[in-house]
Amino acid sequence: MSEAFPFQIVPANWRDLNELRELENVVFEKDAWPLLELIGVLTLPGQVRLKVVFDGKMIAFAAGEPHLGSDVGWIDTIGVHPDWRRRGVASLLLDACEQRLNRKRVRLAVRASNDGARALYALHGYKPVDVERGYYEDGEDGVIMEKVMGEANVSRGAAENAEK
């Protein structure tokens, strides 16, 4: 924890179920995971599950699957409470999840209409590699984005320099 980022990134577990459920409903109005999926993400072995805590309250969550036996890991979900967006929380949580997945490539799916999230992922070195038609329950397409670990730092540094 520091003054610039006054929160902690720590592992999540089954005791976080109620708080995660509340966060999911705020962050993902259309796409909040059902109760059984939340229980699974908090209890299944091998999952990466991280929460960001500020003043004892969960303000963000990410989960991923390393896909053992493969060089590809998946970030299944990442969400930040609206009050904490644009403060660097998502970037730090994304980096922490990628590190814990420890794979050569990391993939995630994002709504085709979610320009803000797509821009954030691009800043972190993710590139669109596929489109899953009708991926979301309401029929919207999901854009599959992939990051090749090790290459992203170059892309991110170039993007940050371009903004200056």
CATH of domain 104-164: 3.40.630.30
Q: What percent of the chain has pLDDT over 90?
A: 72
Dihedral class, residue 135 (left if φ above 0, else alpha if ψ from -120 to 50, else beta)? alpha
Whether residue 110 contacts residue 142, with contact meaning beta carbons closer than 8 Å, is answered with yes
The mean predicted confidence, pLDDT, of the chain is: 88
Residue 155 reports pLDDT greater than 80:
no
Distance between CA atoms of 36 and 42, rounded to whole angstroms?
10
The arithmetic mean of pLDDT across residues 103-132, rounded, is: 95
Summarize pLDDT for 1-34 with one digit per residue, the tens: 445 557 889 999 999 999 999 999 999 888 889 8
78 φ, ψ (degrees, to nearest 5): -150, 125
pLDDT for position 54: 92
Predicted confidence band at 81 (pLDDT cuts at 50, 70, 90)?
Answer: very high
Give the residue extent of every domain in the chain: 1-103, 104-164
Predicted confidence band at 84 (pLDDT cuts at 50, 70, 90)?
Answer: very high
Same fold for the pair 1-103 and 104-164: yes
CATH of domain 1-103: 3.40.630.30
The arithmetic mean of pLDDT across residues 126-133, rounded, is: 96
Residue 163 reports pLDDT greater than 60:
no
Residue 157 reports pLDDT greater than 80:
no
Statement: the pTM of the whole predicted model exceeds 0.85: no
